[in-house]
């Protein structure tokens, strides 16, 4: 070994040690050629802005060494395995988005790191439901950075990809690419993605199943027969693709008159529960038809964020989903 290679090795070791200190132990091997340093930086689990800051800090710190003329930081990240739970319905307007928002918030309150993907190309409503209609996501590199909602849930929505007020009429590959942009984003330490699907069994559902196979699906239906027939179709789609249906939720069941208190069942009652039993799947719970649910949701203050009796049915449903996720990761 010549004395030149010896001192070069020494310098490289010194740079490696300095890099470790600057990056909090996240830097890896260093290559050094003609004063140019190439260093690997493990950015797994870091949000995009934190990654950029850490990378700049490493670069600037190493450039202070007189022997170093340039620094190239190669960011690496082990792809984080995220659990995806799809929320679907056979029919539109049954409260699927409302349920998705509230279970996402309830699951985050149970300690999960939750993000929301609003894949509903026909009526993206998460920006309103999560109280963040005003903000559009920025891109970092070739990926989007999710928008943080006031309820602690980062989210991305199809509505944010279209110009304000513009209808989205994506089909096939375009809808698939849009879904990819939302799902394969800078989700940082989020490990559970709730995906609010469009109603029915169209292109987005197929893309979802092909590219980002969900760990499980939740199906929302009203107690009406027609909605239930459509829900059964959605269930078949997931089951045929090998995606377990975690269970069914009955929404808009039982209406308490705010004036006389009489409880009536405008859409019938118990339909989804008996359908779930007939289809041999768990019933996750029932959410009543309540004007306050709509008013809170429209104002960007979801029932779960309000607490009290309004939050209860959603919290109970989220707890069942939480138990299901735990049983899956335990291999049960």
Site residues, ligand ATP (CB under 6 A): 89, 92-98, 120, 123, 125, 199, 251-252, 287, 289-290, 293-294, 297-298
What residues form DSSP beta bridges with 194? Answer: 85, 116
97 assigned ligand-binding residue = yes
- The percent of the chain in helix, strand and coil, each rounded to the nearest 5, is 40, 25, 35
Q: Which residue is nearest to ligand ATP (CB)?
A: 92
Are 223 and 252 in contact by the 8 Å Cβ rule? The answer is: yes
**Which CB atom, from 123 or from 152, has the smaller least distance to ligand ATP?**
123
94 assigned ligand-binding residue = yes
Considering the complex, what minimum distance in angstroms separates the CB of residue 257 from ligand ATP? 13
**Which CB atom, from 123 or from 270, has the smaller least distance to ligand ATP?**
123
Are 304 and 315 in contact by the 8 Å Cβ rule? The answer is: yes
Among candidates 194, 198, 304, 317, which has minimal Cα distance to 251? 317
Give the distance between the most distant pair of CA atoms in the chain: 95
Considering the complex, what minimum distance in angstroms separates the CB of residue 59 from ligand ATP? 46
Considering the complex, what minimum distance in angstroms separates the CB of residue 91 from ligand ATP? 7
**Which CB atom, from 261 or from 331, has the smaller least distance to ligand ATP?**
261
H-run or E-run covering 80: none
**Which CB atom, from 92 or from 270, has the smaller least distance to ligand ATP?**
92
- At 144, is the secondary structure helix, strand, or coil? strand
Considering the complex, what minimum distance in angstroms separates the CB of residue 97 from ligand ATP? 3
Considering the complex, what minimum distance in angstroms separates the CB of residue 102 from ligand ATP? 9
- Gap between the Cα atoms of 260 and 281, Å rounded: 36
**Which CB atom, from 19 or from 289, has the smaller least distance to ligand ATP?**
289
DSSP 81-92: P-EEEEEE-SST
- Gap between the Cα atoms of 286 and 251, Å rounded: 6
Considering the complex, what minimum distance in angstroms separates the CB of residue 49 from ligand ATP? 32
**Which CB atom, from 157 or from 183, has the smaller least distance to ligand ATP?**
157
90 assigned ligand-binding residue = yes
Q: CA distances (Å), 247 to each of 197, 216, 326, in order?
A: 16, 9, 15
Q: Which residues are annotated as a binding site?
A: 90-97
Q: Which residues are annotated as a binding site for ATP?
A: 90-97
């Amino acid at each position: 070994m010549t004395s030149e290679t010896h001192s070069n090795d020494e310098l490289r070791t010194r740079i490696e040690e300095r890099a470790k200190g600057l990056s909090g132990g996240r830097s890896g091997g260093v290559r050094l050629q003609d004063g140019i340093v190439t260093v690997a930086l493990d950015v797994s689990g870091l949000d995009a802005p934190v990654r950029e800051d850490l990378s700049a800090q490493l670069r600037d710190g190493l450039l202070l060494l007189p022997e170093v003329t340039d620094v190239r930081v190669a960011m690496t990240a082990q792809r984080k395995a995220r659990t995806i739970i799809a929320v679907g319905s056979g029919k539109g307007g049954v409260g699927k988005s409302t349920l998705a928002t509230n279970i996402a918030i309830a699951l985050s309150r149970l300690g999960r790191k939750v993000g929301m993907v609003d894949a509903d190309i026909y009526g993206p409503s998460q920006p309103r439901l999560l109280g963040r209609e005003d903000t559009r996501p920025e891109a970092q590199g070739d990926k989007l950075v999710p928008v943080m909602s006031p309820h602690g849930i980062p989210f991305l929505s199809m509505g944010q990809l279209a110009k304000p007020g513009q209808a989205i009429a994506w089909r096939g590959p375009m809808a698939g690419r849009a879904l990819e942009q939302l799902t394969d984003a800078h989700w940082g330490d989020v490990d559970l993605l709730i995906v609010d699907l469009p109603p029915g069994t169209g292109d987005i559902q197929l893309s979802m199943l092909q590219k980002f196979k969900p760990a499980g699906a939740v199906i929302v239906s009203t107690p009406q027969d027609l909605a239930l027939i459509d829900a059964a179709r959605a269930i078949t789609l997931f089951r045929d693709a090998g995606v377990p249906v975690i269970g069914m939720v009955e929404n808009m069941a039982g209406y308490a008159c705010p004036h006389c208190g009489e409880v009536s069942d405008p859409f019938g009652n118990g339909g989804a529960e008996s359908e779930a039993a007939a289809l041999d799947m768990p019933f996750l719970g029932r959410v009543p038809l309540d004007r306050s649910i709509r008013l809170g949701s429209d104002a960007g203050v979801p029932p779960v964020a309000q607490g009290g009796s309004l939050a209860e049915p959603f919290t109970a449903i989220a707890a069942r989903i939480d138990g299901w996720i735990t049983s899956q990761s335990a291999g049960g």
